[in-house]
Amino acid sequence: MTRRVAILGAGPAGLAAADAALTAGAEVILLDEGERIGGQFWRHHEQLTDRRMQHQHARFAQLRRAVGAATVHCEASVWRVDADRGIRVHALLGPADASGREAITIDADALVIATGAHDRALPVPGWTLPGVITAGAAQALAKRDGATIGARTVVAGSGPFLLPVAEGIALAGGSVVEVVEAAGVGAIARGWGRAPWRLAAVAGKSGELAGYVGGLLRRRTPYRFGQAVTRIHGVGGVEAVTVQRVDARWRPIPGTDRTVECDSVALGHGFTPRLEAAIQAGCDLSTERFVVVDDRQATSVASVFAAGEITGIGGADAALAEGAVAGFAAAGGALDDRRIRGALRARTRMHAFAARLDTHAIRPGWTSWLDDDTIICRCESVTRARLDEYAAASSRAMRLATRAGLGACQGRTCGRTVETLTAAGVDFDRRPVLSSIRIGELARLHHAEHKEQE
Amino acid sequence: MSVRIRFDGDEIAGRDGQTIAGVLLGAGRRSWRSAAGAERGVFCGIGVCQDCVVTVNGIENVRACQRTAHEGDIVEREAR
């Protein structure tokens, strides 16, 4: 009998999973919340996207053709996943946040969770001013809308992702004033210079990064290391930022501040995996809070597989390789099958690249650039001082008193930061409803189910 | 090709296919909501943070970065 494989997320990991599952002979149902497949990496619009921003476009074109053989549901808000007695996925189909969307339920033999990650932007005094966006937002606006947040943007945070963001802004018609990287030159030399034979193995990746650096040089955009945006200035919108040198623990060094005039800021200090579906399915997490998978990308739950950023931040190439393995295994394929050999090799190679990203991991000293009145939870406008009052309280008491993490985004933006600043436990990723749906829609579903039972 | 929406009583033109956030940004608008008395606009750009929500044709809490603008959409500010 043909196996039915449901896949959550149509970014690089989910698409590769769909392709591989189809190759292995499965029936595939692919769900994504976006209007089109591609995820954040291949976010696009046929008329609005500058082709130069579509990296590995040939690979995307191949995957798009391949998933023509799958059932693809875009604009699908998956709001519940059950994996205890077989796989069941509940979703609403329709334009983002519309009311009265169509409810669907999908039963499957196996599930591949490839929900990806979103930016982690650390709070900075002034970061709620209009004109401050995440690095991923700058990239999404450039790719999807051909738009920029302003005319002169400072790109700041950490990690190699800042480079394609700066390029995207420039290609969309904006100007990048500076790229500010918190990791110091010494840390980068140690992190990326070690074991050069491994770097040679990821030559494709280093070539891509060298291309971005070349773009910065051509546009005379400074690329600063060991520095951070520690304050954003403006009235009603961004007018300037303070950039300071930071030590190895990301503590700002007094007396090193400079003012940089700009009208916008793109912040990205890494990524937060989108774990809620995997948690709801019952998958074990590691102490670093990624989904634990084995060689087959199988999770701790029978018939549930995971791939891409939720298993560890590694970028699109790692996601493509992991996705292929996950999809193939979910369809019942064996790892000694020659058709999956290439993906297994690529996965090993890209994990060597991913290990280097640790060079850019958030260091604890950043909290000293916060003011007492800096908003931490953007939804509920909860300040650092307010959180400090509950620094030693239980997670529940802190949240009920301050409302931090209880707003519209359900702690997706501030959760990890609130955990850093308080003694709050690690339950921000646990969400009973996986995506934003309207109470009216839930009520209608409930009503329909009761009618069925009568 | 262009698409026209109404926001704050003004008619705003964007490029066909753009999101509501893309249309507003293209017209130089950077904030369209208020929270605790301060202005907010787009932040995460990928539908996660809920900072950019607007009322569209009478339906509240629509993420401007996720919703494609359609001709004649009436977009209103929200305050929280």
Domain hosting residue B44, numbered range: 2-79
Token pair for A101: 């969307």
Question: Do the chains contact at B16 and A47, CB–CB below 8 Å?
Answer: yes
Tens-digit pLDDT profile for residues B23-40: 999 999 999 999 998 999
- For the domain covering A121-269, report its CATH number: 3.50.50.60
CA gap A409, A419 in Å, rounded: 16
Cβ contact, residue pair A128, B1, below 8 Å:
no
Provide the terminal-to-terminal Cα distance of chain A, rounded to the nearest Å. Answer: 33
How much of chain A exceeds pLDDT 90, in percent? 77
pLDDT at A354: 85
Half-sphere exposure of A353 (CA within 13 A, CB side): 25
Task: Tell me if A4-118+272-356 shares its fold with A121-269.
Answer: yes
Neighbour-count burial of A84, counting CB atoms closer than 10 A to its CB (0-12 exposed, 13-18 middle, 19+ buried):
exposed
Per-residue pLDDT tens over the stretch A77-104: 999 999 998 999 999 999 999 988 999 9
How far is residue A21 CA from its own chain's centroid? Answer: 24
Higher pLDDT, B59 or A213: B59
Cross-chain CB nearest to A35 (options B16, B30, B68) = B68
Instruction: Provide the CATH number for the domain around residue B58.
Output: 3.10.20.440
CA distance A121 to A269: 5
Q: Is the pLDDT of residue A452 over 80?
A: no
**A199-208, A229-238, A361-370, B2-11: least confidently modelled range:** A199-208
**Number of folded domains in chain B?**
1
Of A131, A23, A31, A19, nearest in space to A81 by CA: A31
The pLDDT value given to residue A100: 85
Closest chain A CA to residue B20: A145
Tokens of B30: 């950077």
Q: What is the pLDDT of residues A25-71, one digit of tens each?
A: 999 999 999 999 999 999 999 889 988 888 899 999 999 999 999 99
Query: Mean pLDDT in chain A?
Result: 92
Closest to B78 in 3D by CA, of B59, A40, A417, B65: B59
Radius of gyration (C-alpha) of chain B in whole angstroms: 11
Confidence band (pLDDT; 50, 70, 90) for A198?
low
Domain boundaries, chain A: 4-118+272-356, 121-269, 371-454
Return the structure tokens found at A31.
């769900």
- Is the separation of the CB atoms in A321 and A330 below 8 Å? no
Q: Cβ B63–A96 below 8 Å, yes or no?
A: yes
Would you call A131 and B30 a contact, using CB atoms and an 8 Å cutoff?
yes
pLDDT the model gives residue A195: 57
Model pLDDT, residue A171:
95
Q: How confident is the model at residue A451 (pLDDT cuts 50, 70, 90)?
A: low
Fold (CATH) for A4-118+272-356: FAD/NAD(P)-binding domain (3.50.50)
> How many beta carbons lie within 10 A of that of residue A287, not counting itself?
7
Interchain CB contact of A48 with B (< 8 Å)? yes
Tell me the CA distances in angstroms from A309 to A22, A243, A351, A359, A400, one per residue in order: 22, 30, 12, 17, 31
- Reported as a single tens digit per residue, the pLDDT across A338-381 is 999 999 999 998 888 888 888 899 999 999 999 999 999 999 99
Tell me the pairing of strands B33-35 and B38-40. antiparallel
Residues of A in contact with B25 (CB under 8 A): 141, 145, 147-149
DSSP tally for chain B: helices H, then strands E: 1, 8
